[in-house]
Each structure stands twice: as C-alpha cells, then as structure tokens.
DNA sequence: TGGGCCGGCGCG
DNA sequence: AAAGCGCGCCGGCCCA
C-alpha cells in the first residue's frame, strides 16, 4: 500500500491512500496533525509514503521520533526519470513535474542554498503564509512516475533504492557518527602544536614555513618570504634555484633534490589537516560527540552521494582514530572489496573474468594472466590491478598499454563492455547503469566542438571526444557500483530494523516534542547506520549485537548482488571489522 | 569586500 | 607527447 502525504498549513496536511500503480484507492482526507497521522499509519500499515522530498520532510518526522520503513521520493525519482529521458538537470519539483504533465510553463527549482518557504507541514508558526503541498498534484505526478517506471527495466528498484537512501541520509545526519572531540584535539595538538589563537598558523606549521623560506634563501635572498600556501611563489622560488618545475604537486616535488622539498611535503600534509579538518572544522561539524554532515543523495551524476558540508566523504585516514564507539557499543566497519572491477565482471558477463571474481582477491586471481618479471616494477598482481584501472578509467600509457592488450585477449567481454561505453560517449550517446541511472548528455558546446570534423586525433575537439569517452567508460562501472551500494544500504537498513528491540508505542501524541511512535521508532540500544562512503558502511551497535549486524551486512551484500545481477557467479565479498575505533578497522 | 577560478589534495 | 574516473574544500589570486 502507498499513501500520499501533503503538508498543509499549521502542521496539518492531507493523506490519500493509493494503489501500487498510483490510482487513488480512497478519498483524500485532511488531518490536523500530519506527524501524528503518519505515525499512526506507519504503525498500522507501514505503507510506502509518497511525498515530494524526503530531505525536506523527514527530518521533522525524525525530530518527533517517527521513523518510516519505506517511501517514494517524488523529486529524486523525477530526477532519475528526466535523466533517463536525456533531460538531465531539468526542474524536478512536484510543481515542475505537474507543469510538464499539463504542457504548461515549468517553474525552475529553487537553488539548493536558498531555504524553502518552509512548508506549513510541521511549521511552528501557523501564522506564516507558506504554500502548502497540493495532494492532487502529488497523486498525479506519482501516477505518471509509476507509469514511466513500469516500462523501464530495473527502474522500480532504482526508485525504491534512491528513496531508501534519502531516508538513510536523514537518519544518519540525525544519529551522527560517534566522534571524540578529545581524540581529535589530541591528534591535532600532537601533529600541529597547541591550538593557536586568532588566525595564526599553528606552531609546527609556522616553524616549517620559516624553514622553507630559509631553505630558499641562498637563491631567493635572505629576506624573501616564500609562502608555502602559494603555488606561484613556490614555483618562482624553485625557478630561482635553477629547478624549474611544472607544478608543486607532491609527486613532482618528490622527484627533485632540494632541501626545501621534504619541508614542503610535510607542510602540505599538515596544512591540509589543519585547514580542512582542524579545530575550526571540529567546532563546526561535531557536537554532542557526533559528526553530523549534510549528505546529498544522488548528488553525483553516477548516483554516488555527495556532501554539502562537513566533508564527511573526505575524512583523512589519520582522523579515523577520533571515531570511537560509545562505551558498551561497537563499530561494525564493512567495506566492499574491489567493488568496481567485480561490478564490471558481473555487468559484462565475462565468463573468464567472473570465474576469477568468484571469490577471494580479484587482482590475485587475475594475476596469472600477467607475468611477474621479477626485479623492480610491478608484480603480476600489480599489473592486473593497473590493467583493470586503466580499462575502467580510460588510462593506458606506458606499461599500461601492454597490460591492456593482455586484458583484451584474456577477458574480451569485459574489455569490450567498457570500450563500447567509451564509443557511445564519444558519439554523444547516453549510457546507463544496471538499474537505469543515466549519464548526462553532452553539452551544446561539446557538440559544436566535436562536430567540426577534426578527426586528426589532435586538438581540442579530439580531447573533448576522448574526455567524454573516459567519462562514459567509467560511468557504467561507477554508477552500477553505486546501484549496488544503494541496494546494500536499503537492505541493511531493513535488516537492522528487525534487530531492534520492539518499539515502545506512545499513544495519541500530537506534539512534535514528544516521540510519536512509528513502526521503526527510535529505540535506545538499537544498531544504527552511521556512515556510508561509496563502498563502505559503518554501523554503531550495542556490542552484544555486533555478530548479528555482521551477518546482516553479509546478507545485504548478497541480496544486492542478486537484485542487480540475478545468478551471476561474481561474488561481492565484504571485509568486515568489529572495532572500538574506526582506525582499528584495517 | 565578495565572487569566481585555480592549484592542490583529501576520500572512494 | 601526454593523458586516465568521480567528488568537496581550502587558500591564493584576480577582478569588479
């Protein structure tokens, strides 16, 4: 069963029960307290909730202690359908979708940084005149989406997985990643020196900066300051020292012999930590022992999540020691091993490749196709890995050229799969993930540039062609990996709910301040998904449930494999560690 | 002073 | 000859 929910003024709203295909199954009914009504229905029927935007509505339900099992997020699904139709980026609001259905002018979406005139729904101030959701439009747009989805293989699963992802993202933000500010501060102090006051550099960084200027003094002059934060100044300083370099990237610096190099490398590393994840970051994003970043579901074209604050997907490995389970709790850290090449094996149906991917270390299994020439350079496993990465990313220079040839000979179907995706991209066509997530079409500028007929293989037109080829080549793999990860996440979330102790039902609450119950309402002592990073999840769980959580992760990974690839022989093993702190996971 | 681009590097 | 995929965020730097 599905129920459409529309926010009305003053915390009220409208519900309407729907059949699976979106046909109304009962009249719409107004409810005075939408949160309470949703909680009641969730308890009674656990429907799939049909609403405009989980990101906007669900946090308020969570505030009231209400969790729901399933939803259909109209905006996210609209985005997916538009993308599939080659209309990437068109407005996705219910109002826009409704206008498209009626052939009327389509209103633009609100820029994401502009706060919505906050719905009415859950609004504390009933006096405020915010526009309410329109239940009629919601029902009509949903029905149209269901008709479209029914004609697209895999899309029903994609829509459900994307919507479940939105629920998880909101819940993870609310629950937060356990984060020890004390550990974080201790690490910063250990590496950088005490926290400085006013915008000063920490002691250790200032010391390095001074020594860097000194190291350049013989060529740049004794009184010249070289700001290590300025690539331009560094380039100039090296040029003065007779060492012209194309950039100040770490791998370039490592190749030259100059006393400033080790200082610069150390400075870069520490400065990065200080500016990106230092004390200011700690103050901003960690509170109450939890990191609460803003996740953006579907924020990457491939279906990966992005963040719009908190940098949760770029947390440096050294900081993992600050991620500490609560006393009596544990972190179940689970990582999909070699996900993308396994996805390629399953996508391509390459028999030889799939057999190699059936278990264990994929690269090692492939390595007998490559030979180990002893001394120096890559071993056979390293060659296998480089060949695969080159195939999936569109690289292939130097040694990789030979390795790609080996890959092509031994695993022709896998090789051809990504080659075909690259050709499609170069021809301006669209490519799709397993479940139907679709890459954006090329821009008008790209079409103009590449239609000029320059087939010399050189010049900007050829570069643009190859660039799009690399993009679509990678898209099919990365986006299908994202499909798999979303399916895993949804499955795991459902399985964790079952592990939770039965919720304590609280009857008749109509206040947003009191927990309003709900089938999967917040229960202390329940395992929670607290982190998701492309191919890795962390569950924070009472230590006594860690074994069950581990089993749930394995089961979810297998379910995701089955949902995407049916009876493929390719395995998707999870590497799982039960630890007290994230840093101990591997 | 604020916006936007760039170099560089963190994560996958 | 050189080049691989996807992000977010920071400081420097240029410009209005």
Give the per-residue pLDDT at A376: 62
Give phi and psi for A29, each to the nearest 5: -135, 135
**pLDDT tens-digit map of A393-408:** 998 788 889 999 999 9
Q: What is the pLDDT of residue A408?
A: 92
Maximum C-alpha span of chain A: 84
> In a 3-state reduction of DSSP, which class is residue A171?
helix
Q: How far is the CA of A564 from the C1' of B9 (A)?
A: 34
Query: Which CATH number is correct for A341-479, 1.10.3470, 3.30.70, 1.25.40, 1.10.150?
Result: 1.10.150
Instruction: List phi, psi (to 5°) of A394.
Output: 85, 20
Sign of CA dihedral A366, A368, A371, A377: positive
pLDDT in tens, A366-422: 888 888 776 567 888 999 999 999 999 998 788 889 999 999 999 999 999 999 999
A465 touches strand C (CB under 7 A): no
> Is the distance between the Cβ of A231 and the closest atom of strand B smaller than 7 Å?
yes
Q: φ and ψ at A46, to 5 degrees?
A: 40, 60
User: CA–CA distance from A133 to each of A14, A110, A298 (Å)?
Assistant: 9, 15, 23
User: Average pLDDT of A512-518?
Assistant: 40
CATH 3.30.70.370 fits A292-338+483-585, yes or no: yes
- Kindly list the domain boundaries of chain A, sorted by start residue: 2-152, 182-281, 292-338+483-585, 341-479
Of A394, A366, A391, A390, whose CA–CA distance to A380 is shortest?
A: A366
Helices and strands in chain A, H and E counts: 21, 14
A135-175 pLDDT tens trace: 999 999 999 999 999 999 999 999 999 999 999 999 999 99
CA distance A86 to A428: 11
CA of A323 to C1' of C9 (A): 21
Cβ contact A189 with chain B strand, < 7 A: no
Residue A238 contacts residue A245 (beta carbons within 8 Å): yes
As a whole number of angstroms, the distance between CA A130 and CA A113 comes to: 18
Question: Which band of pLDDT confidence, cut at 50, 70 and 90, is reported for residue A454?
Answer: low
Percent of chain A with pLDDT over 70: 91
* Predicted local confidence at residue A455, as pLDDT: 61
pLDDT number for residue A372: 78
CB neighbours of residue A573 within 10 Å: 19
A358, two tokens: 């059936």
Question: What residues contact A558, with CB distance under 8 A and at least 6 apart?
Answer: A572
The protein footprint on chain C, as nucleotides within 7 A of a CB, is 1-13
pLDDT band at A199 (very low <50, low <70, confident <90, very high): confident
Specify the DSSP class assigned to residue A357: T
Measure, in angstroms, how far nucleotide B8 C1' is from residue A247 CA: 9
Q: Which nucleotide is nearest to A314 (CA to C1')?
A: B11
CA A352 vs. chain centroid, Å, equals 31
In chain A, the percentage of residues whose pLDDT exceeds 90 is: 78
Position A128 pLDDT exceeds 70: no
Estimate in Å the CA A574 to C1' C6 gap, whole number. Answer: 22
Tell me the CA–C1' distance in angstroms for A211 and C16: 37
CATH match of A182-281 with 3.40.50: no
Q: Check whether residue A310 has its CB closer than 7 Å to nucleic acid strand C.
A: yes
- How far apart CA A526 and CA A49 sit, in angstroms, is 23
Q: Name A389's Cβ contacts closer than 8 Å, sequence gap at least 6.
A: A395
Residue A334 has pLDDT above 90, yes or no: yes
Distance of alpha carbon A296 from its chain centroid, rounded?
7
Residue A32 is classified by DSSP as S
Torsion from C-alpha of A409, A413, A418, A420, nearest 10 degrees: 110
Please say whether the beta carbons of A8 and A121 come within 8 A.
Answer: yes
The predicted pLDDT at position A453 comes to 67
Q: How many CA atoms lie within 13 A of A420 on its CB side?
A: 13
Q: Which nucleotide is nearest to A247 (CA to C1')?
A: B7
pLDDT at A129 over 70: no
Q: Give yes or no for CB of A102 within 7 Å of strand B.
A: no
Q: CB–CB of A454/A585 below 8 Å? A: no
Which is nearest to A541 in space by CA: A341, A551, A421, A115? A551
Q: State the average pLDDT for chain A.
A: 90
**A331: phi then psi, degrees, rounded to nearest 5:** -105, 125
State the Cα angle at A554 between A552 and A559, rounded to 5°.
90
Taking the C-alpha atoms of residue A210 and residue A188, their distance in angstroms, rounded to an integer, is 20
Q: What is the mean pLDDT of residues A280-284?
A: 94
- Tens digits of residue pLDDT in A72-116: 999 999 999 999 999 999 999 999 999 999 999 999 997 665 555
């Amino acid at each position: 069963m599905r129920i459409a929910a529309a926010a009305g003024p003053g915390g009220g709203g409208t519900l309407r029960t729907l059949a699976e295909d979106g046909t109304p199954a009962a009249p719409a009914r107004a409810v005075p307290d939408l949160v309470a009504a949703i909680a009641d229905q969730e308890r009674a029927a656990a429907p799939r909730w049909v609403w405009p935007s989980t990101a906007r509505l669900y946090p308020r339900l969570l505030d009231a202690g209400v969790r729901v099992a399933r939803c259909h997020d109209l905006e996210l699904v609209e985005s997916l359908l538009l993308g599939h139709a080659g209309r990437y980026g068109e407005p996705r609001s219910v109002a826009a979708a409704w206008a498209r259905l009626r052939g009327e002018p389509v209103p633009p979406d609100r820029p994401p940084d502009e706060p919505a005139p906050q719905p009415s729904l859950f609004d504390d101030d009933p006096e405020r005149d915010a526009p309410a959701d329109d239940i009629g439009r919601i029902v009509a747009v949903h029905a149209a989406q269901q008709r479209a989805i029914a004609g697209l293989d895999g899309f029903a699963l994609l829509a459900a997985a994307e919507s479940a992802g939105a629920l998880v993202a909101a819940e993870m933000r609310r629950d937060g990643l356990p984060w020890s500010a004390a550990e974080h501060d201790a690490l910063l102090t250990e590496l950088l020196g005490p926290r400085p006051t006013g915008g000063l550099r920490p002691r250790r960084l200032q010391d390095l900066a001074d020594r860097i200027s000194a190291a350049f003094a013989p060529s740049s002059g004794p009184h010249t300051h070289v700001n290590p934060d300025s690539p331009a100044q560094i380039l100039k300083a090296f040029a003065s020292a007779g060492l012209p370099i194309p950039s100040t990237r770490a791998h370039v610096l490592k190749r030259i012999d100059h006393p400033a190099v080790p200082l610069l490398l150390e400075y870069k590393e520490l400065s990065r930590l200080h500016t990106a994840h230092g004390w200011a970051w700690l103050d901003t994003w960690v509170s109450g022992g939890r990191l609460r970043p803003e996740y953006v579901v579907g924020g990457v074209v491939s279906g990966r999540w992005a963040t719009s604050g908190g940098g949760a997907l770029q947390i440096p490995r050294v900081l993992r020691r600050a991620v500490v389970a609560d006393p009596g709790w544990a972190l179940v850290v689970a990582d999909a091993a070699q996900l993308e090449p396994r996805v390629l094996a399953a996508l391509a149906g390459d028999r030889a490749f799939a057999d190699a991917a059936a278990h264990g270390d994929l690269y090692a299994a492939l390595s007998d196709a490559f030979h180990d020439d002893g001394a120096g350079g890559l071993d056979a496993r390293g060659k296998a890995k480089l060949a695969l990465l080159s195939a999936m990313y569109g690289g292939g220079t130097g040694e990789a050229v030979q390795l790609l040839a080996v890959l092509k000979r031994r695993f022709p179907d896998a090789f051809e799969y990504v080659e075909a995706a690259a050709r499609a991209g170069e021809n301006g066509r669209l490519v799709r993930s397993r479940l139907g997530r679709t890459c954006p079409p090329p821009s008008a500028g790209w079409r103009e540039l590449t239609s000029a007929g320059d087939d010399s293989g050189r010049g900007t037109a050829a570069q643009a062609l190859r660039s799009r080829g690399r993009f679509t080549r990678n898209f099919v793999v990365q986006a299908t990996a994202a499909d798999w990860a979303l399916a895993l996440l949804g499955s795991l979330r459902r399985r964790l709910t079952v592990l939770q102790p039965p919720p304590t039902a609280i009857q008749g609450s109509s206040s947003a301040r009191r927990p309003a119950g709900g089938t999967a309402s917040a229960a202390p002592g329940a395992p929670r998904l607290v982190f998701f990073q492309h191919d890795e999840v962390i569950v924070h769980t009472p230590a006594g449930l860690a074994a069950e959580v581990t089993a749930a992760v394995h089961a979810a990974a297998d379910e995701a494999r089955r949902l995407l690839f049916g009876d493929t022989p390719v395995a998707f093993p999870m590497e799982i560690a039960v630890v007290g702190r994230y840093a101990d996971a591997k």
